[in-house]
């Protein structure tokens, strides 16, 4: 078992950033004990998809969105979330 170095206190974020640019975190942190965490308040990543819709449906979506005062693509996402949950 190797001994880890002690992390110093930093006067500023810039000082800490400069320190980590020059040092290997493996000398200071035992990454084998790290645990995955979920940060629920972060904005989820998005991925672009292609979706084929009948023209009559695509023509009606902006009308439905306009009634709700939201962009039609946002309305589609809202509906998808409601149905999936």
Residue pLDDT, tens place only, 23-56: 999 999 999 999 988 877 788 788 899 999 999 9
Q: Return the number of other C-beta atoms located less than 10 Å from residue 9's C-beta.
A: 6
CA distance 66 to 59: 12
Would 40 be classed as within a structural domain? no
CA distance 75 to 62: 9
Q: What pLDDT does residue 28 have?
A: 93
Would 10 be classed as within a structural domain? yes
Same domain, 51 and 84: yes
Rounded mean pLDDT, 55-80: 94
Report pTM.
0.47
Would 39 be classed as within a structural domain? no
- Domain hosting 20: range is 1-34
Decide if 48 contacts 26 (C-beta within 8 A).
no
Q: How many domains does one find in the chain?
A: 2
- Name, of 3-7, 35-39, 71-75, the range with top average pLDDT: 71-75
Same domain, 50 and 83: yes
What b/e sequence results for 34-59 when a residue is b if at least 16 CB atoms lie within 10 Å of its CB, and e otherwise?
eeeeeeeeeeeeeeeeeeeeeeeeee
Same domain, 57 and 79: yes
């Amino acid at each position: 078992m190797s001994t880890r170095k002690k992390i110093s206190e930093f006067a500023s974020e810039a000082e800490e950033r400069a320190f980590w640019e020059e040092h290997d975190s493996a000398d200071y942190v035992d990454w084998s004990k790290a645990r995955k965490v979920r940060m629920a308040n972060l904005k989820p990543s998005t991925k672009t998809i292609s979706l084929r819709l009948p023209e009559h449906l695509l023509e009606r979506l902006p009308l439905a969105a306009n009634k709700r005062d939201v962009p039609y693509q946002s309305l589609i996402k809202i509906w998808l979330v409601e149905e999936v949950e």
